[in-house]
Structure 1
Amino acid sequence: MPQYKKLYTVGWGDYELLDAGGGKKLEKWGDLITIRPEKQAYFNSGISFTKWKEMAHWEFKEYKSTTGEWVNILHSDKKEWHIKYKENLFQLKLTSFKHLGLFPEQKTNWDYIQTKLSNQDRFLNLFGYTGAASCIARSTGAEVYHIDSVKQIISWAKENMNLSKSKDIHWVHEDALKFATREMKRGNLYNGIILDPPAWGYGAKGERWKIENKIESLLFVCNAILEKGGFLILNTYSPKLQLDEINRIINKTFPDSENEISELWMTTKTNKKLYFGNIVRLIKK
């Protein structure tokens, strides 16, 4: 059986994972602190929830698995604000589906991207979301293509590009697999690709997406458009894609690659360990 390691990512000056437990997590984003639901926090918190509520400005109350509302605890009127990561500035917003517009656990991938890209390279961000990876890739001088199926999210990503004083990212409102397939037919190649697909969702034209049904096709196409010596990063969150299944798919779609498959974790300031899904990094031979 293959051995999988735990890859730990860490916070930075403007973000800290303060505590987790009881199905929630306590996070510091710049000068605001939030409480959000977290299924992986099935253990006891390091600090009592009473203490959490003395610290937090906002708490997200979940009504269903995808909806809820933010409750103001410390009378903050700030619903949009910025946090910094290196030279980049990102806009955060209290959304109706608990997210703020940034996945801080991705810091480990942002750093990896910066070490791998140069100003001669082309980088593809599939399922690009609000563009943190795109902005960081662009800061290396690489040519960057950002793909997302939601227009409003692309608008948010453009805000982040402008806040980061970057420019000339190529924005594409399209289904990720359709775009990658077109690039394959055109013969276009990339030196780096990152995929952060949701477990399920909808394409730009309302197409139903389930990762377990599409991931092999997507990775086959990514192999075709990735330069030799180029890198690919895949993040997965679906319980239907366990590590052994991911390993099987990678060996099938990138048989000659040098790859590393890991669990992604973060340690809270109270020394609790929180799981954030699985991650693949590979170099195409």
Structure 2
Amino acid sequence: MQGAQTEKVPREYGLPWPDYELLDAGDGKKLERWGAVITIRPEIQADFKPGWPYDQWLEMAHWEFEEQSTLQGSWKSIKAHAPEQWLISYGNLNFGLKLTKFKHIGLFPEQQANWRFIKERVRAGQKVLNLFAYTGAASLVARDNGAEVTHVDSVKQLITWANENQERSHLSGIKWVHEDALKFAQRELKRGKQYDGIIMDPPAWGLGAKGEKWKLENHLSGLIETAYGLMNPGAFLILNTYSPKIERADLAASAGRYFSAKQLEIKQLWLPAKTGKELYCGNLLRAIK
């Protein structure tokens, strides 16, 4: 997806906050600060030269993730006694982070762009559905605004993690659903349920709650169709795509069957680094019904 970095298209940036910043990126890796802990992780989109020499990265970092396959790997300790689990905050929300064998540690920081959007739009009493909801950051932002939130993920451990984040943030009342996100949404549609906001951050590929294989490009149209059917008039839809097989044109074509051009915005999502580098993080679709 090298062309994604030169194509002149609208961009939206996930911005740093006191407990997170992308320090640098390049040579297929990214250097990030999470509170007081600094990590080095693989990043396929960092196909450019970094701003700082790698020796400087190693002087700063506590952990580096080393891939052992395309699916998983292990963390190498760079500094003695570095924590394997720790807490960071975003506003008055608190998140537990930890090292996992999949290189992720519990937040996708580029989603700060969507947290801002949710914070601006969601009002108390509105119903929000968060599909493929991971560790619950978007759910917590919506719940903190007073929304009635339904959080759906096919991985039970992630729901547990999200609930722990709810408790850490002194919130309650999120409805947890351990289920295949699309199947749950389709059943909600049959039940005649309606929502004021739908958030979808689907993986490019993965496994469902019962081990079903998932490829986003095979389900994109169905996801958008189902979301449209669940939306109240004036409701919003957020859809992120990280799949290299889904271009902005694919999003526009699928969403254009249901939303007019005035109702839609399709952008690229980026993270700015402290060194001035910029990291492409996928495509972002937002729609208002």
Could you state the TM-score of these two structures normalised by the residue count of structure 1? Answer: 0.97
CA RMSD of aligned residues (A): 1.3
Alignment match, 1:282: 287
CA distance, structure 2, for counterparts of residue 4 and residue 283 of structure 1: 20
Q: Secondary structure at the match of 1:157?
A: helix
Corresponding residue to 1:47 among 49, 52, 66: 52
One-letter amino acid of the structure 1 residue matched with residue 274 of structure 2 = K
1:143 aligns with 2:154: no
Corresponding residue to 1:215 among 211, 220, 243: 220
CA distance, structure 2, for counterparts of residue 89 and residue 216 of structure 1: 34
CA distance, structure 2, for counterparts of residue 176 and residue 218 of structure 1: 9
Q: Secondary structure at the match of 2:257?
A: helix
Corresponding residue to 1:130 among 132, 135, 141: 135
Alignment match, 1:162: 167
The structural deviation recorded for 1:245 is: 1.2
Alignment match, 2:277: 272
- Which consecutive residues of structure 1, in runs of 5 or more, have no partner in the other structure? none
> Is the CA contact (8 Å cut-off) linking 1:18 and 1:269 kept in structure 2?
yes
CA distance, structure 2, for counterparts of residue 188 and residue 67 of structure 1: 38
- Which consecutive residues of structure 2, in runs of 5 or more, have no partner in the other structure? 1-7
> Is the CA contact (8 Å cut-off) linking 2:62 and 2:82 kept in structure 1?
no
1:102 aligns with 2:107: yes
Alignment match, 1:69: 74
Alignment match, 2:200: 195
One-letter amino acid of the structure 2 residue matched with residue 225 of structure 1 = L
> Is the CA contact (8 Å cut-off) linking 1:149 and 1:175 kept in structure 2?
yes
> Is the CA contact (8 Å cut-off) linking 2:87 and 2:97 kept in structure 1?
yes
> Is the CA contact (8 Å cut-off) linking 1:216 and 1:253 kept in structure 2?
no
Query: Deviations along 1:185-232, whole A, 9 cap, x unmatched?
Result: 111100000100001111111111111111111111111110110000
The structural deviation recorded for 1:253 is: 3.5
CA distance, structure 1, for counterparts of residue 266 and residue 175 of structure 2: 29
The structural deviation recorded for 1:65 is: 1.3
The structural deviation recorded for 1:77 is: 3.6
Give the length in aligned residue pairs. 283
Q: How does 1:83-102 map to 2 (within 5 A)?
A: 83-102=88-107
Q: Secondary structure at the match of 1:74?
A: coil
Post-superposition, which runs of at least 4 consecutive aligned residues in structure 1 deviate over 2 A?
253-257
CA distance, structure 2, for counterparts of residue 127 and residue 25 of structure 1: 24
CA distance, structure 2, for counterparts of residue 246 and residue 142 of structure 1: 28
Query: Deviations along 1:55-80, whole A, 9 cap, x unmatched?
Result: 00000011111211100001134100
1:5 aligns with 2:10: yes
CA distance, structure 1, for counterparts of residue 127 and residue 210 of structure 2: 27
The structural deviation recorded for 1:120 is: 2.0
